Chains A and B, each alone.
Chain A
């Protein structure tokens, strides 16, 4: 008779526990993963979820606080003002903000909204990606929640928020670009600052000459791009020369990068880096410190940097109208983030209430704008915000008029296409390759082929 060994009994018990634990965990995972693997979230899901939502709303009505989850691309401290303003405007909804890097936003939305995890209620939707977001079923249709946004947000923003006559997102911000310059570096080179008057804006060719002059006089860099190698920042160059957005066709699914406008603009831009007027190998998030530290004479960039730059006592800067090509038209990029609601949200009513606060009320829009100075899309709050930015430095007098002029007259939105995501990814990579020294014509040709290939999968 052999006695049972304690070690074996222990091993058997441990095994049993682990097996049970493994099975239990898996069952949970399977439930969570099933919708991701088998089906895309549909309107029906939203209807089903609104049942749960009704229950939640009931709970909220009974005095219980509801927390909504809000995903965006800015650091949490910039969103604190709007979260606080919203929470103090009512007493039953709190907001938990989560920041993800801009480059990762699409992936996060695909994983979590696409995966029906229901842990996001409201999220940033980059306007040109709206067709893709809607096509994938990642946005709740908002038509019934927003009666009339005409006159509340810019017409251009409303157009990108509406697909097939239905409203899917709400414009939260718009955007424009201005030309920053370092007053000290320009003075050092004996350069007269370019004009803020849109009618007297300088050309890209003149800007290259001035950048060269500033560099010769001691500036480390004559020029630097804000969002370097990103399509948003680059689009106005080929557009100015009549090259178009890069996508044509009725549905915006035909790449068109080999026309004269695109080739000329790309070669000009590549030349700034080839010549050494602008730095290679610096990531988009590393360009602002270069300007702030007084190492670059000119920087085309967004007005949202004004508060950041104004806080730098040693930085003596001014702004001018965005350049255009001598043979072309003035063009500025526009549009920005909208807000979308996850169709799987368990708090749809509360999520919509938050979206309404941020986008349709002056107080909400200004609170959002106080954190990050990207121009608000709320037309009532926009002039107030621009005036506030203008007041930050005496040299900025006239900025508000300039920004309004650009938004109303020279703004060209990004292409509206279900393939925009693929287009933008290919363009960003191609522009970075060109900046690094690849032949522009060859790379644009390759980009066209890559985009065509990617569009075959749509």
Chain B
């Protein structure tokens, strides 16, 4: 029975013509889609270039301008030779190594807790999110008062018969104090993204896992975390950027002290630019902070890529 295999040339021609039309139409469609995409994205891209990339380029250029009017690597040499700047970089890196995992673990824990069926769940969510709605400068002022030697935190400690502490002026305590304040503000905010992610995970996956005898921890590590990867990536990257650029709490609560223990890089850069009027050195510092931040964020992205794609 070979007849069925013999194709009518006319039919073949029509089919080719149809395929060719389809390709052309697809091409036209794609072309049009591309134009629409460009049109839609262009305001953002233009704004990105004008308000983000251009200032970065200006800062990079300014970083090579020397105080004596010349150009060169003098600002970078001065910066790398400066013990204060080396301390600033070290403090900033340590701060981020500590605060980011703490904030993300706390946000995730809160998100997990508040997606359970708790009584008055909405109220808890609102309370957790509320500090985010307060301007960070106001929060910093409130916490500065709270951490004062004669402030409410020490009053509570004293009433419990515990020794009072010099929270913001003791080198070993100032970091935890700053992290506490920043986390009070940040955790509720990042929690919202994670709650949204958790709600997107289909419940039947958990039901199936439960039928297979998986416990809570097994479900958490094999269902929750892998399916929350996108939200976690965003939160980790955005949180890192926010904490790298932290400024107001340092200015209001510690002034970079004691002994440079909280001399985070944005505070140092602000000092150079606006207190010492040394814009070119501040620009060089900005270039360094951006380079470090890009490396850190790139590593975070790489680590959080789904394994299949690696």
Q: Pick the residue among A19, A286, A458 that contacts B67 (CB under 8 A).
A: A458
Q: Which residues of B contact A280 (CB under 8 A)?
A: 149, 166, 169
Q: Which residues of B contact A421 (CB under 8 A)?
A: 275-277
User: Please, which residue of chain B has its CB at the minimum distance from the CB of A17?
Assistant: B43
Min C-beta distance of A362 to chain B, whole Å? 36
CB distance B36 to A8 under 8 Å?
yes
Q: At the interface, yes or no: B17 with Cβ under 8 Å from chain A?
A: no
In whole angstroms, what is the CA distance A435 to B256 when docked?
A: 15
In whole angstroms, what is the CA distance A111 to B282 when docked?
A: 14
CB distance A279 to B277 under 8 Å?
no
Min C-beta distance of B65 to chain A, whole Å? 11
Q: Which residues of B contact A19 (CB under 8 A)?
A: 42-43, 46
In whole angstroms, what is the CA distance A19 to B51 when docked?
A: 13
**CB within 8 Å of B: which of A412-430?**
421-422, 425, 429
Q: At the interface, yes or no: B82 with Cβ under 8 Å from chain A?
A: yes
CB distance B43 to A18 under 8 Å?
yes
Q: Taking beta carbons and an 8 Å cutoff, which residues of A are in contact with B? A: 8, 11-12, 15-16, 18-19, 21-23, 26, 37, 106-107, 110-111, 114, 132, 136, 279-283, 286, 421-422, 425, 429, 432-433, 435-438, 443, 449-450, 453-454, 456-458
In whole angstroms, what is the CA distance A132 to B276 when docked?
A: 10
CB distance A279 to B43 under 8 Å?
no
Most buried by B among A23, A279, A453: A453
Q: At the interface, yes or no: B271 with Cβ under 8 Å from chain A?
A: yes
Min C-beta distance of A215 to chain B, whole Å? 15
Q: Which residues of B contact A282 (CB under 8 A)?
A: 148-150
Most buried by B among A136, A280, A450: A280
CB distance B258 to A436 under 8 Å?
yes
In whole angstroms, what is the CA distance A106 to B272 when docked?
A: 12
Interface of chain A: mostly helix, strand, loop or mixed: helix
Q: Which residues of A contact B148 (CB under 8 A)?
A: 281-282, 286
CB distance B275 to A425 under 8 Å?
yes
Q: At the interface, yes or no: B27 with Cβ under 8 Å from chain A?
A: no
CB distance A457 to B67 under 8 Å?
yes
Min C-beta distance of A191 to chain B, whole Å? 24
Instruction: Decide yes or no: A429 and B50 within 8 Å by CB, A106-B274, A436-B169 being known contacts.
Output: no
CB distance B271 to A425 under 8 Å?
yes
User: Please, which residue of chain B has its CB at the minimum distance from the CB of A458?
Assistant: B67
In whole angstroms, what is the CA distance A114 to B281 when docked?
A: 17
**CB within 8 Å of A: which of B248-262?**
255-259
In whole angstroms, what is the CA distance A281 to B174 when docked?
A: 12
Q: Which residues of B contact A279 (CB under 8 A)?
A: 149-150
Interface size of B by CB at 8 A reads: 40
CB distance A110 to B84 under 8 Å?
no
CB distance B169 to A23 under 8 Å?
no
Instruction: Show 29 residue pairs from A and B whose CB-CB distance is below 8 angstroms, ordered by the A residue.
Output: A11-B36, A11-B40, A15-B39, A16-B39, A19-B42, A19-B43, A22-B47, A23-B46, A26-B50, A106-B277, A107-B270, A107-B275, A136-B277, A281-B168, A282-B148, A282-B149, A286-B148, A421-B275, A422-B276, A425-B275, A429-B256, A432-B258, A433-B257, A435-B169, A436-B169, A436-B258, A437-B170, A454-B276, A457-B278
Instruction: Decide yes or no: A457 and B78 within 8 Å by CB, A106-B275, A281-B168 being known contacts.
Output: yes
Q: At the interface, yes or no: B58 with Cβ under 8 Å from chain A?
A: yes
In whole angstroms, what is the CA distance A11 to B36 when docked?
A: 8
Q: Which residues of A contact B50 (CB under 8 A)?
A: 22, 26
Q: Taking beta carbons and an 8 Å cutoff, which residues of B are in contact with A? A: 36, 39-40, 42-43, 46-47, 50-51, 58, 62, 67, 78, 82-84, 144, 147-150, 166-170, 255-259, 270-271, 273-278, 281
Q: Which residues of A contact B84 (CB under 8 A)?
A: 450, 453
User: Please, which residue of chain B has its CB at the minimum distance from the CB of A136?
Assistant: B277
In whole angstroms, what is the CA distance A286 to B168 when docked?
A: 15
CB distance A281 to B166 under 8 Å?
yes
In whole angstroms, what is the CA distance A453 to B81 when docked?
A: 10
CB distance B40 to A15 under 8 Å?
yes
In whole angstroms, what is the CA distance A421 to B270 when docked?
A: 14
Instruction: Decide yes or no: A457 and B276 within 8 Å by CB, A22-B47, A282-B148, A432-B255 being known contacts.
Output: yes
Q: Pick the residue among A12, A438, A449, A457 that contacts B39 (CB under 8 A).
A: A12
In whole angstroms, what is the CA distance A50 to B36 when docked?
A: 51
Q: Which residues of B contact A457 (CB under 8 A)?
A: 67, 78, 276, 278, 281
In whole angstroms, what is the CA distance A454 to B83 when docked?
A: 12
Q: Which residues of B contact A12 (CB under 8 A)?
A: 36, 39
Q: Which residues of B contact A37 (CB under 8 A)?
A: 58, 62
Min C-beta distance of A86 to chain B, whole Å? 30
Instruction: Decide yes or no: A456 and B166 within 8 Å by CB, A8-B36, A132-B277 being known contacts.
Output: no
Min C-beta distance of B171 to chain A, whole Å? 9
- Top-3 shortest CB links A-B: A18-B43, A107-B274, A436-B169
User: Please, which residue of chain A has its CB at the minimum distance from the CB of B151?
Assistant: A281
CB distance B258 to A438 under 8 Å?
yes
In whole angstroms, what is the CA distance A443 to B257 when docked?
A: 12
User: Please, which residue of chain B has its CB at the minimum distance from the CB of A436?
Assistant: B169
Instruction: Decide yes or no: A114 and B277 within 8 Å by CB, A26-B50, A432-B257, A456-B78 being known contacts.
Output: yes
Other A-B pairs beyond A23-B46, A436-B258, 9, CB < 8 Å: A8-B36, A12-B36, A22-B50, A136-B277, A279-B150, A422-B276, A425-B271, A425-B276, A436-B166
Min C-beta distance of B272 to chain A, whole Å? 9
CB distance A111 to B274 under 8 Å?
yes
Q: Which residues of B contact A283 (CB under 8 A)?
A: 144
Q: Pick the residue among B39, B62, B82 that contacts A453 (CB under 8 A).
A: B82
Q: Which residues of A contact B62 (CB under 8 A)?
A: 37
In whole angstroms, what is the CA distance A110 to B123 when docked?
A: 46
Min C-beta distance of A20 to chain B, whole Å? 9
Q: Which residues of B contact A107 (CB under 8 A)?
A: 270, 274-275
User: Please, which residue of chain A has its CB at the minimum distance from the CB of B166?
Assistant: A281
In whole angstroms, what is the CA distance A235 to B147 when docked?
A: 29
User: Please, which residue of chain B has its CB at the minimum distance from the CB of A442?
Assistant: B259
CB distance A110 to B274 under 8 Å?
yes
User: Please, which residue of chain A has its CB at the minimum distance from the CB of B254?
Assistant: A432
CB distance B169 to A437 under 8 Å?
yes
In whole angstroms, what is the CA distance A12 to B257 when docked?
A: 52
Q: Which residues of B contact A281 (CB under 8 A)?
A: 147-149, 166-169
User: Please, which residue of chain B has its CB at the minimum distance from the CB of A290?
Assistant: B150
User: Please, which residue of chain A has its CB at the minimum distance from the CB of B46?
Assistant: A22
Min C-beta distance of B38 to chain A, whole Å? 9
Q: Which residues of B contact A21 (CB under 8 A)?
A: 43
Min C-beta distance of A242 to chain B, whole Å? 28
